[in-house]
A and B are shown apart, each in its own frame.
Chain A
Amino acid sequence: MNSGLIESVFEGIRQRSHGKIYLILLILSILVQAFGAICTKFAAEIGPSISLFGLNAVFLIYCVILGGMGLQVFFWQASLKHYTLSFAYPFRSLVSFIVLLAAFFLFQESVTYFNVLGLVIITIGIFYLVKEKEFLN
Chain B
Amino acid sequence: MNYYILTIVIIVLTSAAHLLLKKGSVIAVDSGMRMYLHPLSLFSYLIFAIVAFLSITAMKGLDLKVFFALTSLTYICIPVLSFIFLKEPVTKNKLIGIVIISIGVVIFNF
Contact = CB atoms under 8 A, between A and B. Distances in A.
B9 to A, nearest CB: 19
Contact of B94 (A69, A76, A87, A119): A87
Contacts of B99: 125
A60 interface: no
A57 interface: no
A77 B25 CA distance: 7
B91 interface: yes
Nearest to A130: B97
With most chain B CB atoms within 10 A of its CB, the pick from A74, A80, A100, A112 is A80
A88 to B, nearest CB: 9
Interface stretch (A6-14, A45-53, A89-97): A89-97
Contact of A118 (B21, B74, B98, B108): B108
Given A81-B35, A122-B101, A132 B107 contact: no
B104 interface: yes
A126 interface: yes
A71 B20 CA distance: 18
B98 A90 contact: yes
A115 B108 contact: yes
Given A77-B41, A128-B96, A137 B26 contact: yes
Interface of B: 18-19, 21-22, 25-26, 29, 35-36, 41, 45, 48, 52, 74-75, 78-79, 82-83, 86, 88-89, 91, 93-94, 96-110
A100 B67 CA distance: 16
18 contacts: A76-B21, A80-B21, A81-B25, A84-B86, A85-B86, A86-B79, A90-B75, A93-B75, A112-B110, A114-B107, A118-B107, A125-B96, A125-B103, A128-B96, A132-B97, A133-B93, A134-B89, A134-B94
Interface residues of A, number: 38
B79 A90 contact: yes
A16 interface: no
A84 B36 contact: no
Given A73-B45, A77-B35, A119-B104, A85 B88 contact: yes
A124 interface: yes
A90 B88 contact: no
Given A114-B107, A132-B93, 20 more contacts: A69-B52, A76-B21, A77-B25, A81-B25, A84-B86, A84-B88, A85-B78, A86-B88, A89-B74, A89-B75, A93-B75, A96-B108, A100-B108, A114-B108, A118-B105, A119-B108, A121-B107, A125-B97, A129-B101, A134-B89
